[in-house]
Amino acid sequence: MIEIPDQFKEKFTGLLGQEEAGKLLDSLAEPSKKAYRINSLKEGAVVYSQEEAVPGIPNAYYGGVSGKDPEWTAGMVYSQDPAAMFPAQAIPVKPGDKVLDLCAAPGGKSTALAQKLQGEGLLVANEISPSRAKILRENLERWGVSNAVVTNCDSFALSARFPGFFDAILVDAPCSGEGMFRKSEDAIKYWSQENVDLCADRQREILTEAVKMLKPGGYLLYSTCTFSPEEDEEIVSWLLDEYGFKLLPIAAEKAAPGRPEWGNGDASLANCARFWPQDGVGEGQFVASLQKAAGEESFAAEAGEVFSPVRKNKDKKKKGKGKNKGNRSSLERPSKEESCYISEAIAGFNWPESLASWPSQMLKSQDHVFVPALEPEQLKGIKVLNNGLELGILKKKRFEPSHQLAEVLGQVDQERVVDLTEEEYDHYLHGESLQVNSSLKGFVLVSCRGMIFSFGKLSGKGQLKNYYPKGLRQ
């Protein structure tokens, strides 16, 4: 391991005292903690040990997972630092809410937020880096999320489109990464006080835009994986002073409280949660759960723009004329003939309840057919990687269902499934076609140990054509 910088040691000895700083530095020489979450949107038994639960996080356990296992390819599990599970757990989100994850890649927190929404409402998952946004999209796809919009832009572009729009916003800010010292040599190599200060400036910049997008009374969750007060208590103090937020307590038994004296002295800063590696939960993490004052003028109302997500709450579904009808003039609906190809190709599959009305919601953009999570008009000027559920692609007089659809259909029991042996599964992941024992014909879902991870196409004589995406093959 690379040597921890002396300036870091001195800084934290000054802040924590000799004894506590000694514990922190000793813990940085220990191996990092591995853990994983089980996807409650899908059913299935995972083989990994569930002996040691991560305290305070439902369906989360200590232990490693492999990206080659069906548990992973079928989106049953997500590998995540246990302390990093707390931000998404702490933010109050319920099905039907409109939620923004502003700095979202690779998607640990977005997948957890999608679980809380249970397919109802909207998740906008944004990432500024194009390569990381692609990974974010893949992770949400694997998780079987159909009510998310994955965007690739900066916070300014988003705030211009979504004033006063969101019920809850998670800002897991880019930071100096001191809490990642055990996991990443780069975090140590590039650490400097100058970088800490630069990160703090960028965090204020990102949060300024986040605040504009939050409804009055909405929730803001701010988190970092760093220890420096400049990026933690000082930022939260600024939010309290500048915007009148209220700090909410966080249920995290093993976390240490925030340090009011490291910020503006406001006693409520103790409501923040600090995870230190020496506490034994996981890596370093800082979490602050805030609520915006209610009754403030809504930016959305001022701007005269109030949009709704396409997916409604189950109990709020409108019968007859849909509210979203009529504002899609610029978008095409598949023709009758195309709708027939689509229905034919995907007949016989069971759909999650939240997507029950997909046939009346689908739209076409060139050859791509999708069920939007948000009216596309609202996303003008924003780089969108995915809006809702990509159903598939229209080819000459036929339709090919998408990989995302396979992962979404994996949420519910299916009859049109071919379950592969572990050996067959390995071949399928490589991209090979297989001879299997099945009399089914046409598109089928492909699983291993009962976990659906792909589409395939059967010839009727047991020849299974491989539809596992080329970019994901291993």
Min dist. Cβ of residue 97 to ligand SAM (A): 18
Q: For residue 132, state whether it binds ligand SAM (rule: CB under 6 A).
A: yes
Whether residue 127 is annotated as binding a ligand: the answer is: yes
User: What is the nearest approach in angstroms of ligand SAM to the Cβ of residue 155?
Assistant: 5
Residue 154 binds ligand SAM (CB under 6 A): yes
Is 201 marked as a binding-site residue? Answer: no
In DSSP terms, 445 is beta-bridged to 417, 455
Q: Which of 172, 283, 390, 424 binds ligand SAM (CB under 6 A)?
A: 172
Enzyme catalytic residues? 225
Integer Cα distance of 105 and 150 in angstroms: 10
Residue 458 within binding range of ligand SAM, rule CB under 6 A: no
Which of 307, 317, 367 is closest to 342 using CA atoms? 367
Q: Which is nearer to ligand SAM, 110 or 268 (CB)?
A: 110
Angstrom distance (rounded) from CA 169 to CA 350: 33
Q: Is 76 in the site for ligand SAM (CB under 6 A)?
A: no
Q: Does 171 bind ligand SAM (CB under 6 A)?
A: no
Burial of 30 (C-beta count, 10 Å sphere; 0-12/13-18/19+): exposed
Instruction: Give yes or no for residue 423 binding ligand SAM (CB under 6 A).
Output: no
What is the tally of helices (H) and strands (E) in the chain?
15, 22
220 binds ligand SAM (CB under 6 A): no
For residues 262 and 63, the answer to whether their CB atoms sit within 8 Å is no
By CB under 6 A, is residue 241 in contact with ligand SAM? no
Chain centroid, CA 43 distance in Å: 19
Nearer Cβ to ligand SAM, position 110 or 438?
110
Q: Does 186 bind ligand SAM (CB under 6 A)?
A: no
Neighbours of 295 (CB within 10 A): 7
Residue whose CB is less far from ligand SAM, 87 or 144: 87
CA separation for the pair 209, 246 (Å, rounded):
18
Distance, CA of 189 to CA of 180 (rounded, Å): 12
Name the one range near ligand SAM by CB under 6 A: 21-29, 103-111, 409-417, 421-429.
Answer: 103-111
Rg (CA), the chain: 23
User: Which one among 109, 161, 215, 364 touches ligand SAM, defined by CB under 6 A?
Assistant: 109
CA distance 213 to 218: 10
Among 103, 145, 374, 444, binds ligand SAM (CB under 6 A): 103
Q: Can you tell me which of 57, 128, 196, 448 binds ligand SAM, judged by CB under 6 A?
A: 128
Non-local (6+) Cβ contacts of 260 within 8 A are 233, 266, 267, 268, 269, 270
Examine residue 155 and tell whether it contacts ligand SAM (CB under 6 A).
yes
Helix, strand, coil fractions of the chain, as percent rounded to 5: 35, 25, 40
Distances (CA, A) of 144 to 104, 319, 352, 402: 17, 27, 10, 12
Query: Distance between CA 452 and CA 420 in Å, rounded?
Result: 10
Residue 164 is assigned to a ligand binding site: no
CA 284 to chain centre: 20
Among 65, 93, 102, 210, which residue interacts with ligand SAM (rule: CB under 6 A)? Answer: 102
* Nearest residue (CB) to ligand SAM, 92 versus 174: 174
Please report, as residue ranges, which positions from 307 to 326 form the binding site for ligand SAM (by CB under 6 A).
Answer: none
Among residues 127, 138, 232, 283, the one that binds ligand SAM under rule CB under 6 A = 127
From 44-52, 102-110, 229-237, 295-303, span contacting ligand SAM (CB under 6 A): 102-110
Under the binding rule (CB under 6 A), the answer on residue 107 touching ligand SAM is: yes
Among 70, 75, 106, 334, binds ligand SAM (CB under 6 A): 106
Q: Which of 108, 258, 263, 334 binds ligand SAM (CB under 6 A)?
A: 108
Identify whether the C-beta of residue 226 lies closer than 8 Å to the C-beta of residue 284: yes
Is position 103 annotated in a ligand binding site? yes
104 is in an annotated binding site: yes
Instruction: Rank residues 221 and 247 by Cβ distance to ligand SAM and give the closer one.
Output: 221
- Could you tell me which stretch among 8-16, 54-62, 71-79, 128-136 binds ligand SAM (CB under 6 A)? 128-136
Distance CA 188, CA 8 (A): 10
* Beta carbon of residue 444, minimum distance to ligand SAM (angstroms, whole number): 33
Closest separation between CB of residue 118 and ligand SAM, Å? 19
Residue matched to tokens 């909405």: 218
- SS3 (DSSP) at 422: helix
Instruction: Report long-range pairs for 238-245 (Cβ below 8 Å, ≥24 apart).
Output: 238/204, 239/207, 239/211, 239/288, 239/290, 240/264, 240/266, 240/268, 243/211, 243/292, 243/293, 244/293, 245/220, 245/290, 245/291, 245/292, 245/293
| 335 contributes a contact to ligand SAM by CB under 6 A | no
Q: Which residues bind ligand SAM (CB under 6 A)?
A: 84, 102-109, 127-129, 132, 154-155, 172, 174, 206
**Binding-site entries for S-adenosyl-L-methionine:** 103-109, 127, 154, 172
Extract the annotated binding site: 103-109, 127, 154, 172
